Copies of this chain bind each other. A is one copy, B any other.
Amino acid sequence: MNVEADPAQTGPDGVDVTEEQLDDIKITYVKVDPEGAERIGKKPGNYITIESQAIRKQDTKMQDELSTCLSKQLKKLLADNGIKDSDRCLIVGLGNHRVTPDAIGPFAIDEVLVTSHLFELQPEAVAEGYRNVSAVTPGVMGITGIETSDMIHGIIHETNPDFVIAIDALASRSINRLNATIQLTDTGIHPGSGVGNKRKEISKETYGMPVFSIGIPTVVDAVTITSDTIDYVLKHFGREWREKDRPSNALSPALNPFEKRRTLTEEDLPNEEQGQAIMGMFAKLDDAEKRQLIKEVLTPLGHNLMVTPKEVDSFVEDMAHLVSAGINGALHAVIEDSDAQSYTKF
């Protein structure tokens, strides 16, 4: 499990951010060019974030739509990277199948459609419109004793695919993205980063072929929960004070009775004096400082727990199903969006 990439909130030079809203789904495209990459400290490439409450709400219909959306975005990203229908794909399910919030990768591998053995053993039996696909679950170092990147290296070396798609659960950097976003990139993966300094990248630079990743934030730490909540509290009061001063609340969009849920934005933050009255010195800290300070308090107490929503079993099962259906739809031309669900194995 890796930590979620920090999404670029603003677009400095060399970082292009666009958004799209489709009914209940919001898509954010961040394109980072080499110059921008240096500025924001991320690899150049495409970062696509798909947001939806489909999993949290356990809404089957919304999940089908989200799966179809993932399929389209992935198909487009493959095309943008020059992937042809005849290119061979290796899908890698990262994570630990015995730790449910870390099991999206392994669970999805059980459901994706594999065809590579048919191409090899009975090529005449493979119908038009199917891609050559294989899939592996390299496991985690605590169970295999082998660095995940070494394991993947061995398998890539043996199967020699034209491109790789990796699926992984992520540690979320924000409470509101937990089980509510799918992150798609073409910038490669660093499996097992965080353990020692021996991280080994699997990417276009190191393997000469495109490496796509699909990441889903499933856990969050207590520091993030507290830091986010302090931020929400500040904005909440900031907005309250601002609205109180307005001539008529009736015109305030924030009170629009048709709006289902109030979202808080940067503009809601209170001024310095107000902030300090509510939250003392915490109001003056930026996000990184706030997190650092909370971490310093919680860690020695043993309370910086990494947590996952109580409904983890169904969230992870649903997400794995949705992701595998989305991948199947993107990889095989023969699968229509509408019936991608019926191509998963379970």
Most chain B CB neighbours (cut-off 10 Å) among A196, A277, A296, A302: A302
Which residues of the partner chain B approach A100 to less than 8 Å between Cβ atoms? 100, 312-313
Interface flag for A18 (CB, 8 Å): no
Return the CB mask of A241-264 against B: 1 if under 8 Å, else 0: 000000000000000000001111
Distance in angstroms from A170 CB to nearest chain B CB is 12
Return the CB mask of A90-113 against B: 1 if under 8 Å, else 0: 000000011111100000011000
Cβ contact within 8 Å between A117 and B146: yes
Return the CB mask of A109-144 against B: 1 if under 8 Å, else 0: 110001111101100000000000111110101111
Interface flag for A283 (CB, 8 Å): yes
Count how many chain A residues have C-beta atoms less than 8 Å from C-beta atoms of the other chain: 89
Cβ contact within 8 Å between B98 and A313: yes
Cβ contact within 8 Å between A114 and B301: no
Q: How far is the CA of A307 from the CA of B218 in the complex (A)?
A: 11
Q: Which single residue of chain B is at the shortest CB-CB distance from A231?
A: B297
Which residues of the partner chain B approach A298 to less than 8 Å between Cβ atoms? 229, 232
Interface flag for A278 (CB, 8 Å): yes
Cβ contact within 8 Å between A143 and B135: yes
Cβ contact within 8 Å between A157 and B157: yes
Partner of A306, one of B110, B151, B154, B310: B310
**Contacts A99-B310, A226-B230, A229-B298 given; does A145 touch B134 at CB 8 Å:** yes
Which residues of the partner chain B approach A175 to less than 8 Å between Cβ atoms? 222, 303, 305
Cβ contact within 8 Å between B301 and A308: no
Cβ contact within 8 Å between B146 and A159: yes
Q: How far is the CA of A13 from the CA of B281 in the complex (A)?
A: 40
Q: Which single residue of chain B is at the shortest CB-CB distance from A154?
A: B158
Interface flag for A34 (CB, 8 Å): no
Q: How far is the CA of A326 from the CA of B196 in the complex (A)?
A: 31
What is A's interface to B at a CB cutoff of 8 Å? Answer: 53, 56, 60, 97-102, 109-110, 114-118, 120-121, 133-137, 139, 141-147, 150-151, 153-155, 157-159, 175-176, 178, 195-196, 198, 219-220, 222, 225-226, 228-230, 232-233, 236, 261-264, 275-283, 293-294, 296-298, 300-303, 305-314, 342
